[in-house]
Amino acid sequence: MKLFLIVATVIVSLFSQLPILQSSAAETVDPKVLFEKKCKTCHSTSRAKSLNQTREEWTKTVMKCKERKNSNITDEEAKIIIDYLTKTYGKK
Ligand code: HEC
């Protein structure tokens, strides 16, 4: 009986953690909103929108701006934005 209680508690606590894990970072972030928010602090987003680049080129562009002073862009955000830009403004 005691063992059953322990097992049940562990299972319940595992399941109750799941929504927390799922709602973290990437899942809830809209890449477009993130791009608009992070990339227009220094210049207009049309700078990026006027380009069509491969994933490598977008990585270079985003990393270059990410490394600038006070860019306020994290590694994870950069990854999401690169994905978004490659899909939306990829080289045709
Ligand atoms: C900290 C300020 C800052 C942030 C944040 C920033 N940029 Fe920039 N960006 C610059 C500067 C400075 C230049 C180059 C100077 C110029 O040409 O006016 C530039 C230039 C660019 C260019 C022109 C092409 C090139 O490579 O020079 C593109 C495209 C660009 N940024 C895209 C982005 C994207 C996409 C983001 C979001 C991930 C972003 N920028 C965020 C400062 C920033």
Query: CB–CB of 38/81 below 8 Å?
Result: yes
Q: How many domains does the chain have?
A: 1
Shortest-distance Cα residue to atom 11 of ligand 1 = 65
Shortest-distance Cα residue to atom 8 of ligand 1 = 65
Q: How far is the CA of 28 from the centre of ligand 1 (A)?
A: 25
DSSP label at residue 90: B
Q: Which two tokens stand for residue 47?
A: 């700078």
Query: CB–CB of 82/58 below 8 Å?
Result: yes
pLDDT, tens digit, 9 for 90 and up, residues 47-90: 999 999 999 999 999 999 999 999 999 999 999 999 999 999 99
pLDDT, tens digit, 9 for 90 and up, residues 20-47: 545 455 467 899 999 999 999 999 999 9
Measured CA to CA, the distance from residue 72 to residue 69 in angstroms comes to 8
Q: For the chain, what is the largest distance between any 2 Cα atoms, rounded to a whole number of angstroms?
A: 66
How far does Cα 71 stand from its chain's mean position?
15
Residue 55 is part of which domain span?
2-89
**pLDDT on residue 63:** 98
